Structure 1
Amino acid sequence: MWLVIVVAVIALLAGLAANRWLRPRLLSEDDGTGMAVKDMVGPLLTMTVLLLSFVLVTANSSYGKAEVASRGEARALDQLVESAEYAPAVQRARIQAGAVCYARAVREQEWPAMSDGHGSPAPSVWSADFRQTFHSLQGTPVFGMLVAADNKRSDERDERLTQASASIPSAIFYFLLATLVITVMALGICLPRKNNRGQLITLTVITALLTTMLVIIRDVDRPFGGIINVEPTAITEVERQATRDFLAHHPTTPLPCDAKGNRVAA
Structure 2
Amino acid sequence: NNEVAGFKFSVIGVLYAVLLAFVVIAVWQNYSNTEIAVRNEAKAVGDLTQLSYAVPDPEGSAIRTSVADYANEVRQSEWATMARGSPSTTTAHALAHLTQAIFDLHSDQIRDLALFQQSLHLLAVIEDNRNERLDSANGSVPPILWFVLIAGAIITLGYPAFFGTTNLVAQILMTATLAALVALTLLLALLLDFPFTGQVSVSSGAFDEALQQMPPHLKGHPPPETENSLP
TM over 0.5: yes
Query: Percent same amino acid at aligned positions?
Result: 24
Equivalent residue number for residue 157 of structure 1:
130
| Alpha-carbon distance between aligned partners in 2 of 1:203 and 1:135, rounded to the nearest angstrom | 63
Q: Which of residues 106, 110, 125 in structure 1 aligns to 2:74? A: 106
Query: What TM-score results when the alignment is normalised by the length of structure 1?
Result: 0.76
Question: What is the deviation of 1:37?
Answer: 2.9
Q: Which of residues 94, 97, 104 in structure 1 aligns to 2:62? A: 94
Q: Size of the alignment, in residue pairs?
A: 221
Question: What is the deviation of 1:79?
Answer: 0.7
1:129 paired to 2:97: yes
Equivalent residue number for residue 241 of structure 1:
213
1:205 paired to 2:177: yes
| Alpha-carbon distance between aligned partners in 1 of 2:8 and 2:104, rounded to the nearest angstrom | 72
C-alpha contact 1:107 1:236 (8 A) present in aligned 2:
yes
**How do 1:54-73 and structure 2 match up within 5 A?**
54-73=22-41
Q: Which amino acid aligns with 1:237?
A: E
Equivalent residue number for residue 3 of structure 1:
none
Query: What TM-score results when the alignment is normalised by the length of structure 2?
Result: 0.86
1:217 paired to 2:217: no
Extract unaligned runs of 5+ from structure 2: 227-231
Q: Which amino acid aligns with 1:149?
A: L
1:258 paired to 2:222: yes
Question: What is the deviation of 1:112?
Answer: 1.5
Extract unaligned runs of 5+ from structure 1: 1-27, 30-34, 248-254
SS at 2:53 equivalent = helix
Q: 1:261 to 1:135 in 2, by over 3 A?
A: farther
Q: Which of residues 163, 171, 187 in structure 2 aligns to 1:190? A: 163
| Alpha-carbon distance between aligned partners in 2 of 1:232 and 1:101, rounded to the nearest angstrom | 15
| Alpha-carbon distance between aligned partners in 2 of 1:81 and 1:236, rounded to the nearest angstrom | 14
SS at 1:228 equivalent = coil
Equivalent residue number for residue 50 of structure 1:
18
Q: 1:136 to 1:148 in 2, by over 3 A?
A: same
Q: Which of residues 46, 68, 86 in structure 2 aligns to 1:118? A: 86
C-alpha contact 1:81 1:96 (8 A) present in aligned 2:
yes
Structure with larger Rg: 1
| Alpha-carbon distance between aligned partners in 1 of 2:212 and 2:119, rounded to the nearest angstrom | 20
Q: CA RMSD in A?
A: 2.2
| Alpha-carbon distance between aligned partners in 2 of 1:245 and 1:49, rounded to the nearest angstrom | 54
Equivalent residue number for residue 6 of structure 1:
none
